[in-house]
Chains A and B, each alone.
Chain A
Amino acid sequence: MAEPQPASVQEGIDPEGPPAPTGGDARKAAAALSTLDQRGDDATAPTKNIDQDALSNAISRLELTSGKVTPGGEQQKEREAEARKEKERRAKIKVDAQDVGLLVEELDLTKIKATELLKAHEGDAMKALRAFVTANV
């Protein structure tokens, strides 16, 4: 079973709170833990080993998302573009406030979720209800 405990140690009794960390690593870990919720990421100095021109270049590229083409990711790009298109299409679908109310009441949904669900089914309340009810089947 368990290793015998040294006589000075008694399980469950901890007179002075958690013991002070001893080893170097433990102390570091404790220090890291105590600063866990402190705001530190601003304090980090910028890395020096960088090409400033390239950096400003990169930043400006960041602005126009569809800017320079990186190699690869073609299929993923298509998928993401499609998702975006679908989102835009859905945004245009009009839904009846009464239908939203019905979904909220019958399916315990929030208004936002109910609207989303309706839009995903072309604003057809019946289709939306059926899809929700049979979702796990």
Chain B
Amino acid sequence: MPSLAGAKERSLFGQVVKCYENKQYKKGLKAADQILRKHPDHGDTQAMKALIINSQGNTEEAFALAKIALKNDMKSHICWHVYGLLYRSVKNFEESIKAYRFALKLEPASSQIQRDLALLQMQMRDYPGYIQSRRAILQARSGVRQNWTALAIAQHLGGQLVDAERTLSAWEDTIKTPPPKSDVEHSEAVLYKNTIIAEMGETERALDHLDAVSKGSLDRTAAMEMRGQYLLKLGRKEEAANTYRTLLDRNSEYRAYYDGLVTALGLQRTDLEALKKIYAEYSEKNPRCDAARRVPLDFLEGDDFREAADTYLRHMLKKGAPSTFANVKSLYTDVAKRDTIQSLVESYAASANPTQVNGSAEKQPDKPDGEKPADGTDAHVEEKQVNGNVSQFDSSVRYFLVQHYNYHLSRDLEKAMNLIEDAIKSNPGSVDLYMTKARIWKHHGNAKKASETMEKARSVDERDRYINTKAAKYQLRNDENDAAIKTMSKFTRNEAVGGALGDLHDMQCVWYIIEDGESYLRQGKLGPALKRFHSISDIFEVWQEDQFDFHSFSLRKGQIRAYVDMIRWEDHLREHPFFSRAAINAAKTYVSLHDKPQLAQASLTNGINGEMDKLDKAERKKAQRKARKDQEKKEQEEAEKKDAKKTAGNVGADGEIKKEDKDPQGQKLLQTTEPLADAMKFVTPLLEYSPRNLEAQLASFEVFIRRKKFLLALRCLLTSHSLSPSNPTIHEQLLRLRHTLNSHPTSSPLPAPVSSLLETELSKLLDRDTDLTQHNDTFLATHKLSTPHVHAALRARYALASSSQLDAVKEEGQKELIKTLELGEDGCKLEDAVRGLELLRWWDVGEEGLGEYRARARESWPEATVFE
């Protein structure tokens, strides 16, 4: 390499490196330019300059310069290292690893390159590579404990458990005197070794080891929990029971300990007396303990249940715990328990308010206790607590009942509404009550009143962030996107780039972004909708990226077990419901865009339900042209406005340069020519991480069948079928796949293995020679009392029809859909009716058909805003 001749240049180069590390970019650039003036082709300096330029945000320029640097000096490890760093900064990890490897080959002694490579291998989960790198690092510096632990982690995660244990033991053997008790790193490493032994399945040895080390371990709770699990596994029940008793003495609210104790005592769910005794023991010991009182409600039945529930509910309601209902609603899946609770709480209400009086509850002081003195100690204390003019008990009872009648398993919305009106009258300053009222409106389907009521609740306490959030969510449900962001802006950093919405993105406020996206989707504004779904996907990517720093940080801190937990969590990151929700929505949106490319245009104007249908072709074109022009004009105006605003600069609080979003309406996403290929960005992780999600399988099928990836479509179909054989959509998708295959052009036959596999698997579900139309008609006739089934059959009929039949099919379908509206609550839920409306829109039946359907639906759901 053309090394620098003069001592002056060498020191200058050192200065460049230093400046880069200290983030003094301007100074560094100056020094680099000084060298380059004398040695214009000096690769190392160019590489360092590229690195600095990249840190300043000019990635493209940096790459160009780094390439020149490499050309000038192919044999420089610095150039290759920089090249790797640049790739790393744009998240092209594979290329980055390659570059690091090259750099390392040129300079095997560089610990910096070695470490950069190792961290990236961990990030990419290249365990064999990581083990190798960790071994090299350890050999270079074997006196540091971290390096041993790191190798053990690599081996552990790479599946070499025996090696991992040996590595940890090897270090322990070198310690001369036992480390001090305060040595966290030691304590953690020892417990970590214990978990590895347990993972090998050698519980006995793990227990022995644990008993030997747990005295010095700082995480007492973890050690005891592990001990309990090992003892249970080994069947040493008596000791296990003792361990769990000790744990319960430490924390009597943790249900897992009760479960452990019950298992250790060998009790079944039916050993009621013994079970009752255990829980009674702990509730006596801890008068304020909730778990010991609440858990028995899970297994008690009949009169036992009634008695226990009575005690529990009285206790909680007297305390005025607002979470009482949330705490017991999981029992409602058992109808008998649900009814018992209802009659109990109703009886409290009746004895408190014999006649529904208007707020004069003073005249009926706490009567309920007079009847049933069942509950002991608290009665006297609580009884005296009277809150305003209504006792706490009375108002808690009423609040409980409102929630009860609002809950889907015990719903009676009218009753709930009457109760809440009364409650609000006697306590008009309660946020909770208005919030619950809003929720009742929501269940009526009245998004508008729900949003207004929630806004009212917000106005009661404007500093309460929780209710602020709720109000924004309800506004989004009512498609008031602007109002919602305004509500949110009361708690965001509004000077962030992109305003409140920008801050919500920075703060990764996933719930808001997804609700916003779904709202735009409902309005047919596909651009912003897609934009939001992509944001969600990006945020998950950031979460994945975030672990990078911890590969070195956690080691330095010695928190190994937490680190391994985190790594395993990251491996399943995209299983998160928020991800699947965004991904399913995005996939569906792209499918719509594929089927109806004109939606992209419509979305630019004003939603799908525009007036387009009524116009003839020439007029439609004219309208579209005008819409586009308007849009362009609007964009230009907005751009000008933004330029004017752009004085403050776009540097975020952390000094990071934030780029202005040039496409806030997501039009670039809309104008895609390959919507199905774009959908795969969502479908692939969706199927990989949530294969047991039925919705995900159904949505992915739609993408695959359009991409003519029949085997993948079949895979989704088979999976859906195994998840829920009777789901009506599976019927539809099966028929459509059959139909598509039957009408596949013989001129381009599928590869032999593909068609034979399709044939064998499909014929298991549906006989090859079935007349599809007839089969579908039979299906419709059999299931005509269930709306989802009718929808599926109608969609299938539409798909099977030839183009000349389409109009007839639609007309017939319209009638069938209206018929479903009369099926009553069991056959047609509100959601089903809404889906029917969507289907009609999809068929482009026109305003008249939609109007008729809406009018009929209003009869059944007079409050629902969707049918207005």
Contacts and interface: CB of A to CB of B under 8 A. Distances in A.
Interface string B704-732: 00000111101100110110000000000
The prevalent SS among residues of B at the interface is: helix
Interface string A123-137: 001100110111111
A61 B151 CA distance: 14
Given A12-B490, A40-B556, A134-B761, A50 B176 contact: yes
A17 B718 contact: no
Contacts of B711: 106-107, 129, 132-133
B709 A106 contact: yes
A42 interface: yes
A70 B170 CA distance: 10
B202 A75 contact: yes
Interface residues of A, number: 52
A11 B490 contact: yes
Nearest to A125: B753
Interface stretch (B138-146, B225-233, B402-410, B855-863): B138-146
Contacts of B691: 136
B757 interface: yes
Contacts of A135: 715
Contacts of A36: 549, 553
A20 interface: no
A136 to B, nearest CB: 4
B725 to A, nearest CB: 11
Nearest to B167: A62
Contacts of A5: 463
A24 interface: no
B345 interface: no
A62 B719 CA distance: 46
A137 B142 CA distance: 49
B1 interface: no
Interface string A100-111: 001000111000
A46 B141 contact: yes
Nearest to A102: B751
A34 B715 CA distance: 48
A97 interface: no
Contact of A132 (B464, B557, B715): B715
B135 interface: yes
Interface in B731-753: 751, 753
Contact of B718 (A11, A54, A136): A136
Contacts of A108: 680, 684, 709, 712
Contact of B115 (A39, A70, A72, A83): A39
Interface in A16-73: 17-18, 32, 36-37, 39-42, 44, 46-47, 49-51, 54-56, 58-59, 61-62, 65, 70, 72-73
A80 interface: yes
Contacts of B145: 47
B78 interface: no
A60 to B, nearest CB: 10
B722 A77 contact: no
B176 A51 contact: yes
A58 B177 contact: no
Contacts of B692: 136
Contacts of A47: 143-145
Given A51-B174, A62-B135, A80-B162, A136 B431 contact: no
A80 B177 contact: no
A56 B171 CA distance: 11
Contact of B159 (A41, A75, A83, A125): A83
Contacts of B169: 70
B761 A133 contact: yes
B175 interface: yes
Contact of A134 (B163, B552, B718): B718
Contact of B201 (A2, A56, A75): A75
A88 interface: no
Given A36-B553, A41-B115, A50-B174, A137 B722 contact: yes
A14 B431 contact: no
Contacts of B555: 41
Contacts of A102: 751, 753-754
A133 B762 CA distance: 12
Contacts of B552: 39-41
A108 B566 CA distance: 30
Given A76-B201, A108-B709, A18 B653 contact: yes
Contacts of B805: none
Given A50-B175, A54-B174, A2 B761 contact: no
A12 B715 contact: no
A72 B173 CA distance: 17
Nearest to B754: A106
Q: B162, B170, B494, B710: which has the most chain A beta carbons within 10 Å?
A: B162
B491 interface: yes
B144 to A, nearest CB: 5
A117 to B, nearest CB: 13
Given A37-B549, A102-B751, 5 more contacts: A41-B144, A47-B145, A76-B162, A133-B761, A137-B721
12 contacts: A2-B465, A11-B490, A39-B552, A42-B111, A50-B175, A51-B176, A73-B161, A75-B202, A80-B162, A126-B753, A134-B761, A137-B722
Interface of A: 1-2, 4-5, 11-12, 14, 17-18, 32, 36-37, 39-42, 44, 46-47, 49-51, 54-56, 58-59, 61-62, 65, 70, 72-73, 75-77, 80, 83, 102, 106-108, 125-126, 129-130, 132-137
Interface of B: 111-112, 115, 135, 138-139, 141-146, 159-163, 165-167, 169-171, 173-177, 179, 197, 200-202, 205, 431, 461, 463-467, 489-494, 549, 552-553, 555-557, 653, 680, 684, 691-692, 709-712, 714-715, 718-719, 721-722, 751, 753-754, 756-757, 761
The 3 closest A-B pairs by CB, nearest first: A46-B143, A58-B170, A136-B719
